[in-house]
Structure 1
Amino acid sequence: MAPTTLITALMIYYGYVATRGRFWYFGIDLEAMDLTVQELILYGTETIWLPLAAVLLLILAFAGIHMLHLRLIESGSRPRLLRAAGAVTLAGGVALIVRAAVGVVVPEVAREESAGVTPLSLSMGALLAAYGGYVLVKSWNRPRWVNILAILATSGLIMAGAVWATNSFAWAFGVGRAVSITQRLEAYPEVVIDTAERLEILAGPVRMQPLPGPKGRKLKYRYRGMRLLTEAGGRLFLVPGRWTSSSGTLVLPYNADIRIQFLPLP
């Protein structure tokens, strides 16, 4: 798989997870929004870069530590320090794997922890345990199949934990973005809505006034105080200017029964 194809697939997937978490906070099922692949990719661009940068920094740090380790081996100096470092690294890796196992077995731990703690413990624990074991038994003449099996098992655990952690991060990132939106709704365009029928607004500072005009006119009511959350699938997703968990989200289609005006920001 080409690197560009892999990055695009990651953007789509993590954009989907983060966007699902973002709109879940507002009570919207992402499947009902009919977002295009391009829109998911755009949402994914703000999600993928932080974990990608973290992985690259980790690779650089590990490469530097490994080069130092090889230099000490070639010089033949400080063998006790190498063995002690290997033992500490192995013990730290095992402790992290145990922590990951606790997070998997005990649901309460996973629910109350910060995003990604259990999967990152699995990935880092596997990496540290494998490298610590490598440092300790580097002189042991192991069969080739043992090396291959150890590499495959370690790589599998690292990848599983990394994908799991990034998935958890993407969801938490999406929910965090939603919370941030609710705290600065004044930065979003205000929407004035004229409708033929009365709207059921759950809560929030939304004002309704009858529209003056001749009897029998089609548009009879005007609503103010709504903010534009997003547009998708030919529909507007609107929230009150001061949003709470009881406010809900108003979904309006583009049709002849409504008239929409966007007011410029002050």
Structure 2
Amino acid sequence: MLTIVGAVLAQGTVLTALLFYFGMLHAHYMFAYFGVNYTVLGLTAQDFLIRSADGLFVPLTVVAAVSLTALWLFRAIWPRLPGPARRLLVHAAGPVAGALGLLAILLAGVAFVDPRPFDAFPWLAGSCLAVGVPLAAWAFRSRRRSTSFAAVAEWTACFVLVAVGLFWAAGDYSSAVGTGRAQNIAAGLPQSADVVLFSEKALQSRVAGVVETTCAGSGFRYDGLKLVMQAGDRYVLLPATWTPATGSAVVLPRSDGVRLEFAAPGTAQVGGC
């Protein structure tokens, strides 16, 4: 089982694609919460790869810690077991692994038909497929030898299914992480710095909660904004009074004609250029 999973993760192309896929969907769902299409932000492949660390470090840490703990327990307990107990465990390992693998594959099939029961655990369905296939394959191969051609076909099918399960889990999990990050940003707007936007050109739109002031010389001043982040070559700003139901986001390109000034929450003075 570990050989199959390790072979999938050891492929640099598969692992990089998995990280890229997670980061892209993370950006999609996070900015979609604010009503922004992430494709207008000019995010690069490097941005997506860096963004993947936002959510993947937690499950990777948990998996590594559990695996290491299980290995230490095995090394501590196995040498102390009597011979009959060892033979019993070895004999039972195949059937138990096969049963668990088939159960995990069955859960993945149920989630494929109707994913709603798994909404609380968005990573579970794909993980079941990625873990269940190697378990079932290992149990089958421990009981029966295959020809070289059948072994290659079986290994290839397992490789594909494990990769599909990993992408499935990453896709579902990234949607939850991206939306959760956006909700955290929205909840923290009152505590984030006030932003005063100076622009050579008018925004040409009315954003609720944002006050526009025409400067005496030239340009415009906008108060009542909060900076969400600089993403790619764009600024993503929200009104301080933004809500998912009524708020609008402002996306501006970085340029010499746009200037941002920051102040502690509640201290920015409205008006004046």
- Indicate yes or no: 2:90 matched with 1:90: no
What code does the residue aligned with 1:124 have?
Answer: V
Q: Within 1, Cα distance between the matches of 2:105 and 2:230?
A: 44
Report the counterpart of residue 251 of structure 2 in structure 1. Answer: 251
Shift of 1:184: 1.0
Report the counterpart of residue 36 of structure 1 in structure 2. Answer: 44
Report the counterpart of residue 260 of structure 1 in structure 2. Answer: 260
SS of the residue aligned with 1:231? strand
User: Using a 3 Å threshold, how does the CA distance of structure 1 residues 39 and 156 change in structure 2: closer, same or farther?
Assistant: closer
Alignment of 1:1-266 (within 5 A): 10-57=18-65, 60=68, 75=83, 77=85, 79-106=87-114, 108-109=116-117, 112-134=119-141, 137=143, 140=144, 142-194=146-198, 197=202, 200-203=205-208, 206-208=209-211, 210=213, 213=216, 217-219=217-219, 222-232=221-231, 234-245=233-244, 246-254=246-254, 260-264=260-264
Paired residues, number: 256
Q: Within 1, Cα distance between the matches of 2:224 and 2:213?
A: 15
Deviates more, 1:153-162 or 1:238-247: 153-162
Instruction: Deviation per CA, 1:217-261: give whole Å up to 9, x if none.
Output: 434x64322100122454422102243112020123456776532
Q: What TM-score does the superposition give when structure 2 sets the normalisation length?
A: 0.72
Instruction: Deviation per CA, 1:14-42: give whole Å up to 9, x if none.
Output: 32221222111111111111123443333
Q: What TM-score does the superposition give when structure 1 sets the normalisation length?
A: 0.74
Q: Within 1, Cα distance between the matches of 2:83 and 2:226?
A: 67
Q: Within 1, Cα distance between the matches of 2:124 and 2:204?
A: 44
CA contact (8 A) 1:123 1:157 kept: yes
What code does the residue aligned with 2:134 have?
Answer: L
Structure 2 segments unaligned to the other structure (5+ residues): 1-8, 268-273
Q: Within 1, Cα distance between the matches of 2:161 and 2:150?
A: 17
CA contact (8 A) 1:51 1:166 kept: no
Q: Within 2, Cα distance between the matches of 1:75 and 1:239?
A: 67
What code does the residue aligned with 1:36 have?
Answer: T
Q: Within 2, Cα distance between the matches of 1:71 and 1:150?
A: 34
CA contact (8 A) 2:101 2:136 kept: yes
User: Using a 3 Å threshold, how does the CA distance of structure 1 residues 76 and 149 change in structure 2: closer, same or farther?
Assistant: farther
Structure 1 segments unaligned to the other structure (5+ residues): none
CA contact (8 A) 1:18 1:173 kept: yes
